[in-house]
Structure 1
C-alpha cells in the first residue's frame, strides 16, 4: 500500500502517461498504469510533473523591505549593508514573520519548494532567527526552509558575533555562514573562515559562506574555504556564495583555484 499515486503525468524527459508512486515522502516507483493501491490518488490529467524549483541563496529576513529606510541610491553592496544596519533596530518579530510568510506563499505558488536563507545573527535579541525558525516550522508541510547563521557585521569585526552565532545554532539554525571579505583585514577574513569551518566540523553541520563579493582580484577567501574544507574533511558539505572576484583574477591563478575547489567538492552559488 502506497501513500500516494499521481497518475497520468508527463515527465521532463517527455515520457507520457506515467504514474508516480510515493511512500513515506519518497518516490518509490515510476511507470505507466501502476497496479497497486494507495491511500490517495491524484489524476495528473496529462500535465507535466517536474521537481520543484530551489532557491539556493536568499535573505528572508530582509525580503519585501525595498525602500526601508530608503532606497539604495548607489546600488552597491556597502550601501546596502549600511541601510540594513539602519533598519535592524526598527524590525519586529511580527514584521519579519509577516514578510517571510508572504514571500513563501508566493514561492510555493510558483513551484519554488525549497529555500536556503541566510539570517543575520548580529543582533543580541536574535529576533530574525526566532521569527524565521517559526516560519520554517509553520510552513514545513509545504516548503523546505534551511537557515544559515549569517554574521552580517563580520565574525571578528563584531565582537559579539561568535557567541550569537553559537546561540543561533543551539536554537536550531541549520548551516554555518560567514562573510570573510567584510572583515577588517584579509588575515582576519582567513581566520574567520578557519574558525567557522571548525565550528561546523565540531557540530556536524553544513557551511555556506559569502566569499569575495567584490571586484578585487586579491580577495581570495574561496581559496581558504576550499583549503579548510579539505583540512577538516568537510568535502561536499561546503558552499561558497557569490565568488564575484574570480572574474577579475589572473587566469593562471584561477586555473589552480578551480582545481582546488573541485578537489574539495566545494559547491558554488555564483550570484
Structure 2
C-alpha cells in the first residue's frame, strides 16, 4: 500500500512519542509506531511535537493590516474603532481588501494557523469586502480553512440596509450568520435582532456567531436571549457568542442563572483576551476592569 504522506518519529501533545502518522487523501488514517507502508512523501519529525494546527476563531479580515487608515484610534475605545471603520469603508477597493487579506494569510500559515473564522461587514451596499473575501477564501482553500460570518457591523436594525445586505451576502455563499445586538439603539431592538438572525440561520441551516455584550455594562444581557433563541429554534451546537465581556461586570447571582442557560443551549463562547483587555474599562478611573469574560467559571 502506498500513502500520500508519512510523518515519522513524532511526539504528540498527549505525551506519546516515537509514533508514525499516515495520511491519505488529506486525512490522517493511522497513528502508530513503525508503519511499514510506502509513501509519496516522508517527513522525519525527529522526535519533535506534531500537533493540530492553530485556529483563529474570531477575526476581521476585511480590516486586517489597515492600522492608520484613514487615521489612528486616539481614544483606544471600541466606539472610536467602529467610527474609524465607517470612515474607511467608502475608501476600500476589492483589490486592496484582497491584497491585505492574502498578506495576512501568508503570516498566519507561517505561524501554523490553518483555520480562520472571519467576520465581514455587510453594511456597505457594495458588499465589496464580502466579494473580496469570497475570492480570498477560494484562493487559499488549499492551505487555510476560511469561514466567513455575515456581520451587520452598524446594527441589523440600526443600519437601514443591513437586513437586505445580510441576505445578499448569505446568498453569495457566506457561511455563518452574525450580529451585534448591543450596538442596536435599544435593548429591545438588540433582543429582536438576536431572534431575527437566529430564525434566518434556522431556515437556512446555517451556524450563528454573534458579537454579544462587548460592553462594560452589566445590564447588556443579550447572551441570555441568544441562549433562549438557540433552545427555542433547536440550534444547539451551532451557535457561538463572541466577546461576552459584560459578564465581567455582572453580579454573581445573575451569572449563576446565566451559565446554566448557556450550557443548556450548548452555546460555544469565543473570548478575545488580546482585544478586550485593551478595549474594555476605558471609562473606568480606578479600579480598572480587565474586560475578560468568565472563562474559568464556564469551564
TM-score range, shorter chain: over 0.9
Instruction: Output aligned runs, 1:46-195, within 5 Å.
Output: 46-195=47-196
**Counterpart Cα distance in 1 of 2:66 and 2:40:** 43
Counterpart for residue 234 of structure 2:
233
Residue 12 of structure 1 deviates from its aligned partner by 1.4
Residue 43 of structure 1 deviates from its aligned partner by 2.3
Counterpart for residue 35 of structure 1:
36
**Counterpart Cα distance in 1 of 2:12 and 2:24:** 19
* Secondary structure class of the residue paired with 1:234: coil
**Counterpart Cα distance in 2 of 1:251 and 1:131:** 44
Q: Could you list the per-position Cα deviations for residues 166-203 of structure 1 after superposition, in whole angstroms to 9, with x for gaps in the alignment?
A: 11111111000000000001111000000100000111
Counterpart for residue 207 of structure 2:
206
* Secondary structure class of the residue paired with 1:134: helix
Alignment length (residue pairs): 271
Unmatched 5+ stretches in structure 1 = none
4+ runs deviating over 4 angstroms? none
Residue 26 of structure 1 deviates from its aligned partner by 1.8
**Counterpart Cα distance in 1 of 2:264 and 2:125:** 38
Q: Output the aligned Cα RMSD.
A: 1.0
* Secondary structure class of the residue paired with 2:197: helix
**Counterpart Cα distance in 1 of 2:125 and 2:89:** 11
**Counterpart Cα distance in 2 of 1:12 and 1:210:** 32
Unmatched 5+ stretches in structure 2 = 273-299
Residue 220 of structure 1 deviates from its aligned partner by 0.3
Q: Tell me the TM-score normalized by structure 1.
A: 0.98
